[in-house]
Amino acid sequence: MKTITKKLSVFVAAFALAVTALLVPVVPASAQSCADDTYTITNGVNCAQGEDTPATLFGGEGSIFTVVVNILLFIIGAICVIMLIWGGIRYTTSAGNSANVTAAKNTIMYAIIGLVIAFLAFAIVNWVLTSVGTAA
């Protein structure tokens, strides 16, 4: 059972890494500021920052903190769904063994609880960050 848990945790970590790599946007450099022949610090910063890069750390939509929190909550939700599927597989393959059935039911229950908490955290964090963004 420990080898299955190790393999599952390695799979979940690799999946989370792959999803994170896919969700990180590739920001194109601003063509207007990079085409200038003036080599100043401001021009270099504007060229490196690109058009779609968030300018603020906190507050409002598009801030760095909001993007990071939303990506992490998406990963947590994906892990909860994977664990829900894993609990269903364990339940169907338990072959009537009461200890395995109980363990599978607990996995399903905790996955659903984790999914509900992830949805509530998503809503609360976005509400707070939007409120901070409008108050600032």
Kindly tell me if the per-residue pLDDT of 22 is higher than 60. Answer: no
Q: Which residue has the higher pLDDT, 109 or 3?
A: 109
Across the range 32-61, mean pLDDT stands at: 59
pLDDT in tens, 49-100: 665 555 565 555 666 777 788 788 888 888 998 999 999 999 999 988 999 9
Give pLDDT, residue 29: 42
List, for residues 91-129, the tens digit of each pLDDT value: 999 988 999 999 999 999 999 998 898 888 888 877 877
Q: What secondary structure does DSSP assign to 66-78, as a single string?
A: HHHHHHHHHHHHH
Residue 24 has pLDDT above 60, yes or no: no
Q: Directed axis angle between helix 64-92 and helix 98-135, to 10°? A: 170
What distances in angstroms separate CA 32 from CA 35, 47, 72, 111, 115, one per listed residue? 5, 8, 33, 48, 44
